[in-house]
Amino acid sequence: MKKKSKCMYVLMFIIFIFQCSYNIYQHNKISGYKRQLKIIVINNLQQFASMDVSKDNEIIYAEQYASIVAAQEAYALLGDGKGIPSEEYDSTLAKSFIQIKRIMLNDKEKFKKIFGGMDASNLIFKISDDFEDKDSIIKLNKLLSD
């Protein structure tokens, strides 16, 4: 009887160690994915901000749109499915992405006016360094809504 009891304890200990190891492995894997998503957002925001909008080139315009869409999708995945409280929506990057896409689709001249200068591009570079930079996000949203 004591042998069976001892075997059960050893088996439970092995299962416990295996489960802990697997949890650590999964946590590290998820952290790696989040790092990759953050890099995707940063790279696409910087690529978007660095393109010249003064030229009337449809290919550059399409590349900018693709960059902002890719950044938005990666940013949405980084959010872990958490919603945004309505009182904080005006100071979120999610609103900025939506406004940029809306302007790009509906008003090309307004887009050129906003991103033709350095203000909006500099704000996007600041935001790419810190996604939680509320001041820069609010300033960008004001530029986009005017």
- E-assigned strands of the chain? none
Q: Is residue 2 part of a domain?
A: no
Q: Could you give the dihedral angle defined by the CA atoms of residues 41, 46, 47 and 52, in that order, rounded to the nearest 10 degrees?
A: 150
Residue pLDDT, tens place only, 57-97: 788 888 888 998 898 888 888 877 677 777 777 778 888 88
pLDDT given for residue 1 in this prediction: 59
Residue 116 token pair:
């033709």
Residue 8, CB half-sphere, CA atoms under 13 Å: how many? 5
Q: Is residue 4 part of a domain?
A: no
Mean pLDDT, residues 138-143 taken together: 88
Highest mean pLDDT among 21-35, 87-101, 120-134: 21-35
CA–CA gap between residue 121 and residue 127 (Å, rounded): 10
Q: Is residue 25 part of a domain?
A: no
Q: Is residue 24 part of a domain?
A: no
pLDDT given for residue 33 in this prediction: 92
* Count of domains forming the chain: 1
Q: Is residue 118 part of a domain?
A: yes
Q: Band of the pLDDT at 15, cuts 50, 70, 90?
A: very high
Q: Is residue 6 part of a domain?
A: no
Amino acid at 134: K
Domain that holds residue 90: 37-145
Mean pLDDT, residues 94-106 taken together: 88
pLDDT given for residue 114 in this prediction: 84
pLDDT given for residue 9 in this prediction: 87
Q: Is the pLDDT of residue 115 over 70?
A: yes
